[in-house]
Amino acid sequence: MDGENTVIGTGLSPEFDDDFEQPWNPEFDPTLPADRYLDRELSWLAFNQRVLELAEDPLVPALERANFLAIFATNLDEFFMVRVAGLKRRILTGLAVPTNVGRGPADVLADISDKAHELQVRHAAAYHGLVAPALDAAGISIVTWDSLDAADHDHLRTAFQQRIFPVLTPLAVDPAHPFPYISGLSLNLAVRVRDPRSGKEQFARLKVPQMLPRFVRIDQRENPARLRYILLEDLIANHLGDLFPGMDVIEHHVFRVTRNEDVEIDEDETENLLQALERELLRRRFGPPIRLEVSEDMDEITLGLLVRELDITEQEVYRLPSPLDLGGMFELYKIDRPDLRYPNHVPTTPVQLMPREPNAKPDVFASIARGPILVHHPYESFATSVQAFLEQAARDPHVLAIKQTLYRTSGDSPIVEALIDAAERGKQVLALVEIKARFDEQANIEWARKLEKAGVHVVYGLVGLKTHCKLALVIREEGGTLRNYSHIGTGNYNPKTSRIYEDLGLFTCDDQVGKDLTRLFNELSGYAIEKKFKRLLVAPLHLRKGLLKAIENERANAEAGRASGIRIKVNSIVDEAIIDALYRASRAGVPIDLWVRGICGLKAGQEDYSANIRVRSILGRYLEHSRIFSFLNDGDPQVYIGSADMMHRNLDRRVEALVRLTDPAHIAELDDLFDRAMDDRTSSWWLDSQGDWVRHSLDEDGKPLDDLQNRLMQVISHRSRAGSRR
């Protein structure tokens, strides 16, 4: 969840991909057992279970727990819309290519259904038994209609008539009214009514308006400090007589449909990618149903009608306690109760970007000219680093050109505004916009057109490849010569998500990095044949080869008795060739630390081939999003940061870029980061030899282990304060 969604901005969303075309091939290394991988779909569900465990944790503030419930729900929605939909598509089209563990899609779908049912029941139990009571104890109550008194009923009836009733549209189902289209992820009431004159029963569907607040505030007369809410669907359900006057309401139940909302574009057959994508977005909402969630008390007649009309299987029906769609808990999270949230953290300005003289204005270019700068978001400010870099470039009369990739950005992006400002000031501006960033396509189309109108050169990358790298290049004239100022990051140029996504970025005026970026941008915007770069590893041609070579080098060092070690931090790792290379290195005695937020297809702790591999996962208030690749290299560390995960799409079907760090201080900083993350005294999940993620959050005395993100806030804030006093 740059799983970034939609679900972006929820804090823990994964990135889903289209790695369905990759055939299962267990023969990368015949010396390794065929069952050496973990199922990627079940691994993703295990990731979402870790999110759920945060919602269940009594040490997490109550509103944050509500937020994690919402994140779990929206993550699971996206999983069904993309991954489950993809598996179903493979079955329906006859492309039953085995999954990454060699199983058929139908078998995997059965496993997914079992685990997803289990997790959704556990999710509902966490709401009813843990989170709702914790909120109630803190003065925030979610009540039912039946629990309210007559005065509350009168108040809510008035509110219903004035603000809700006019918006509702009941849709009858009879010979003159066919079964209505049920839009994906909408909340609905299935209503059965009887005509008292004829005794005839009929069905109607009532959509719960998405533009109205999900939680309706109830005035509290006796204790104004207590907040009380009733769910919108509960309020509507208790006023069905107003919507069906003269009819007897027999049954009413809540239901929700998830549809296939993946996007497929054949770029080879499409001249105008924007227009084709817009057409596909219109079709997306009519995708086939893949999940039906119903309230657990739904009668069999109503359920049978829904299953029949939606053409859905019993396996795809999820009976759950009300309320459905706990993604609505995002609304409650906005309540102004800072005491029920994580303590506020204000990002600091990186020490190297602080003015050296009192009262002097910050000068990003002067700071970068003094030496490369590694920034760590959200502990360090995006606004005073990346955003300031581009805004200063737009205003600076010595800047001649700006080139940048845009994968996802916020709706009111100052980054886009800086590019527009630069173009309007006559600078050459190139924006490589990835309009196919999943679930952000429409926003990216709008920004692309706005940029074009301002005179920015907008390109959409290479046919068949998503451009996922995070790059910005500024060309500045200094003393009659041109100088390159570069930024290579692990995260999107998005000021909003930068507050909740953990990411790294390198600023440098190194001439070689500038030349590499210049050539890469030329290849992305024009016609060129990719060659090797000096400081970058670039996919799809060289990144996989470069990483495999580095892993093999560590294996050779270990076998020769030289110092070796591998440390990798990624969102997901499923690529078989990379995993097999790590297995071979482990066999040779290379100590390997893997820090994985989401999906992990690697089996840890297998005596024969992964005894030297430790796998940890850290989830918390921030979404761990940076990618780091560190190789000890016999005492001459080779360390890279960048945009790529270890997945087929990143290595083979995307433009990705890693940059090699050369400053010893930066290398030491990332080594310290790994030391903290892998420390047994740090709260984390450990992947055990059975493939289960086991949470380690308390010490032997029952006291909380160290929270890595809290610790980094303290360390970096202290560093910033010390820098400001110099």
Catalytic residues: 468
Residue with tokens 């990332």: 670
* Cross-strand partners of 477: 482
Angle at 485 between CA 482 and CA 486, to 5 degrees: 140
3-state helix vs strand vs coil in the chain, percent to 5: 40, 25, 40
Q: How many whole angstroms separate alpha carbon 697 and alpha carbon 708?
A: 11
Close Cβ partners of 99 (under 8 Å, ≥ 6 residues apart) = 24, 39, 40, 41, 105, 108
In three-state form (DSSP H/G/I as H, E/B as E, the rest C), the secondary structure along 648-671 is HHHHHCEEEEEEEECCHHHHHHHH
* 3-class state of residue 283 by DSSP: helix
Give how far Cα 491 sits from Cα of 418, 470, 473, 506, 593, Å. 18, 7, 16, 11, 22
Token duo for residue 677: 């993350």
In three-state form (DSSP H/G/I as H, E/B as E, the rest C), the secondary structure along 630-652 is EECHHHCCEEEEECCCECHHHHH
> Where are the strands (E) in 343-408, listed by range?
373-377, 399-406
* Cross-strand partners of 385: none
Which H helix or E strand runs over 536? Answer: strand 536-539
Per-residue buried b or exposed e for 488-515, using 16+ beta carbons within 10 Å of the residue's own CB: bbbbbbbbbbbbbbbbbbbbbbbeebbe
β-pairing, 481-489 with 501-508? antiparallel
Give yes or no for a contact between 641 and 543, defined as CB atoms under 8 angstroms apart: no
Burial class (CB in 10 A: 0-12, 13-18, 19+), 697: middle
Question: At 261, which amino acid appears?
Answer: E
Question: At 590, which amino acid appears?
Answer: V
Q: CA torsion sign, 266 to 271 to 273 to 276?
A: negative
Token duo for residue 703: 């006291």
* 3-class state of residue 477 by DSSP: strand
Q: How many whole angstroms separate alpha carbon 645 and alpha carbon 625?
A: 10
